[in-house]
Structure 1
Amino acid sequence: MATESSSDSPYDKAKPFLAVVLIQFGYAGMSIISKHALNEGMSQHVLVVYRHAVATIVIAPFAFIFDRPTIDQNLYYTGMKYTTATFASAMCNVLPAFAFLMAWALRLEKVNIRKMHSQAKIIGTIVTVGGAMLMTLVKGTQLDLPWTKGYDQHASTGGLTKQDPIKGALMITIGCACWASFIILQAITLKSYPVELSLTAWICFMGTIEGTVLAVVMERGNPSAWSIALDYKLLAAVYSGVFCSGLAYYVQGLIMKRRGPVFVTAFNPLSMVIVAILGSFFLKEILYLGRVFGAVVIVTGLYLVLWGKSKDEPPSSSSNDKVAASATQMATKTHERTETLNQDFVALDLTRVRPNDESY
């Protein structure tokens, strides 16, 4: 009984939400630090290699003690290099839409078109994609914030890469599709290989190998791209490796087993808000009205999906809990009745034996 009450405690129910919020704060920090490193000239392909290498070094020992993907990140960092950290973070809000469509196609997500919550998930997915297109195509009026007013946008991007929002958005969108595929694949793999630490270590190790091959090809003839010192380049590699590859992959694997892959991706707008605030302060990124409106549309569509998800999962989980509880109660009552019957039979046998013993 103590186990059931503890599993139903508010803290236990809140743990998945707290975990995904922590992940989004980690991703927000990665976007700011990585963008600063890219502005200083760091190769996005080399950053992916160092990120996975650090994650492998950090996670592998834990996997060995307790337990005995790269294309998406290359496209994401390249897209960020052509845009801003805020734009890249906002565009990543199409990730839940891709994850939902893939989960639906693979029957990992339950959808009944006749039910309102399923209709909300479908409509929300369409609205999310529409908001991403709006952000890409409509720039709008520049918002002159006190701390960015008069600041040179060319200087805010380091002056090393010419901004190209459409090209950047296309790369980020394709990267999100690959990212969603990775999350769905991780959810499927965990069903047959439920060892989160070992799986995370293998993911990071394979990411290091694949990223190295791609970086060698893309940065051939540029050995200086691999140089690193005690600056933002090293911080970006270590931070993204520890928090956004090692820790995030492990935590999202734990959450997937309990809430599914769509739930993991549903909190991306939180990262966008954090990045927008921090990016305008630390990177002096300029905000535009059209992109803010597009981001609001993305968030609206996303939370339609989240609302439909909330109406879909809890009833099934609660019904399963009720079935399990009723089955436990029935088993307990059956056991008690069996014990009572056994005691009655023993009593009857004793009453039959005693008179015979006395007469004998």
Structure 2
Amino acid sequence: MFIIFLQTSYAVGSLVIKSALNKGLNHYTFAVYRNAIATLFFGPLAFFFESYHSFAGGNRKARPKMTVSIFLKIILLGLLEPVIDQNLFYAGMKSTTATFASAMCNILPAITFVMAWMLRLEKVKMKSLHSQVKIIGTLVTIGGAMIMTLIRGPEIQFPWTNNHTLHHQSPVNTMSTQDQIKGSLMISVGCISWASFVILQAVTLKSYPADLSLTALVCMMGTLEGSILTLVVEKANTSIWSINWDIKLFAAIYNGVVCSGFAYYISGVVMRDRGPVFVTAFNPLSMVIISILESSFLAEKLNLGNIVGAIVIVLGLYLVIWGKSKDQKQQGHESSLNQQENGMKRPIKHSVDVVNSHGKPSSDVEVV
């Protein structure tokens, strides 16, 4: 349920961002404002729920001690997703459509799976049917993403599409092939950065299991690093920092609180139990929701290549999720058997008192 809520939030956020980009939103400053709002929202929550209770004598392990290694990981986390991924994703969406950008992100589970496999966070046995299905599903997912990128075909008109709804705000309907390729490359590199962020987050949570604090610190680092990037790229262009009470401000608030803050927190909580691959495996749900919303409210048009590629991606991800679920059941069964065997082999210790020459008990002796 957490992941379904997360993907629904991503879909709504993509629709809001695309509308704001069409009205001239600068994606560099938007990434800065988004993470700054997330920091202001989750900073006090982290302080109260993870620091205050620690000081009050509650769970003293709620926030571990900050070390140089953890601090460097947080700096890298702030660079991977809040800066690199978000800016490349927004730039790619500006060149394409929100539906196309969400569909391209479906390669994220495949990239995460490969990275987790290489780092041994995901167990793969080549002779196991479950592992073979996961590998095939990964290849099918990548193939579906290539279909969506390279094949266009005739446009598909949905029954709920209103041709005149916000049609004057949809200049991306005439998206050129060059823009599509450029946007695809940006989104693909952003997905690699996002997958790296998920893997590094899973590793960091093992040594720093403070979900709220990690969320606030990553957003704060993303704000600082994103500000430096914006100043370097945009230089003296101060007009991009202006923001009014319009869709641009709403996009920053919504995506900062929900798509950055809550997303990082929910991802951390879920991947503790299910792993990083499971967190990213539900991305097609976001694509389905955004396709319906965008074709209904922004009059965006889908083509046959998008639909065929999306179907192939969903099939590939189903294979990955099926193999993952079977692996988890098998690992749980093996773990229970190991616990039973360890319990049977565990020696039983008895403590007896040894009486010295004065008739007084001396040190205890354990008899196995």
Same-fold call, TM cutoff 0.5: yes
Q: Does 1:82 align with 2:95?
A: yes
- Where 1:114 maps in the other structure, the secondary structure is coil
Distance 1:245-1:82 versus aligned 2 partners, 3 A rule: same
Q: Does 1:140 align with 2:123?
A: no
Report the alpha carbon displacement of residue 117 of structure 1 after superposing the two structures with TM. 1.0
Match of 1:266 in 2: 281
Match of 1:26 in 2: 9
The 8 Å contact of residues 17 and 251 in structure 2, kept in 1 or not, is answered as yes
Report the alpha carbon displacement of residue 267 of structure 1 after superposing the two structures with TM. 0.4
2:96 and 2:252 map into 1 onto residues whose CA distance is: 20
Equivalent positions of 1:240-255 (< 5 A) are 240-255=255-270
Question: How many equivalent residue pairs?
Answer: 320
Q: Does 1:228 align with 2:243?
A: yes
Q: Which moved more, 1:99-108 or 1:157-166?
A: 157-166
2:173 and 2:159 map into 1 onto residues whose CA distance is: 26
Q: Deviations over 1:139-169 (max 9, x none)?
A: 1111123454655998443579965111101
1:95 and 1:172 map into 2 onto residues whose CA distance is: 10
Match of 2:362 in 1: none
Residue identity in the other structure for 1:31:
S
1:254 and 1:152 map into 2 onto residues whose CA distance is: 40
Match of 1:127 in 2: 140
2:211 and 2:174 map into 1 onto residues whose CA distance is: 38
Match of 2:314 in 1: 299
Report the alpha carbon displacement of residue 282 of structure 1 after superposing the two structures with TM. 1.4
Which residue, out of 79, 84, 107, partners 1:71? Answer: 84
- Structure 2: gaps of 5 or more residues: 52-77, 353-368
The 8 Å contact of residues 58 and 242 in structure 1, kept in 2 or not, is answered as yes
Equivalent positions of 1:188-207 (< 5 A) are 188-207=203-222
Q: Deviations over 1:22-43 (max 9, x none)?
A: 1111111111111111111101
The 8 Å contact of residues 55 and 245 in structure 1, kept in 2 or not, is answered as yes
Distance 1:154-1:282 versus aligned 2 partners, 3 A rule: closer
Residue identity in the other structure for 1:81:
K
Equivalent positions of 1:94-133 (< 5 A) are 94-133=107-146
1:156 and 1:142 map into 2 onto residues whose CA distance is: 19
Residue identity in the other structure for 2:254:
Y
Q: Does 1:312 align with 2:295?
A: no
Equivalent positions of 1:177-188 (< 5 A) are 177-188=192-203
2:155 and 2:200 map into 1 onto residues whose CA distance is: 40
Match of 2:59 in 1: none
Q: Deviations over 1:172-200 (max 9, x none)?
A: 01000000000000000111111111111
1:306 and 1:121 map into 2 onto residues whose CA distance is: 8
| Larger of the two Rg values belongs to structure | 1
Q: Deviations over 1:219-254 (max 9, x none)?
A: 234322111111110111011110111011011101
Structure with more of its chain in helix, by fraction: 1
Report the alpha carbon displacement of residue 320 of structure 1 after superposing the two structures with TM. 2.6
Which residue, out of 293, 302, 306, partners 1:287? Answer: 302
Distance 1:60-1:325 versus aligned 2 partners, 3 A rule: farther
The 8 Å contact of residues 166 and 297 in structure 2, kept in 1 or not, is answered as no
Distance 1:155-1:138 versus aligned 2 partners, 3 A rule: farther
Match of 2:68 in 1: none
Distance 1:137-1:66 versus aligned 2 partners, 3 A rule: same
- Where 1:110 maps in the other structure, the secondary structure is coil
Match of 2:45 in 1: 62
Overall identity of the aligned pairs, in %:
55
1:269 and 1:160 map into 2 onto residues whose CA distance is: 22
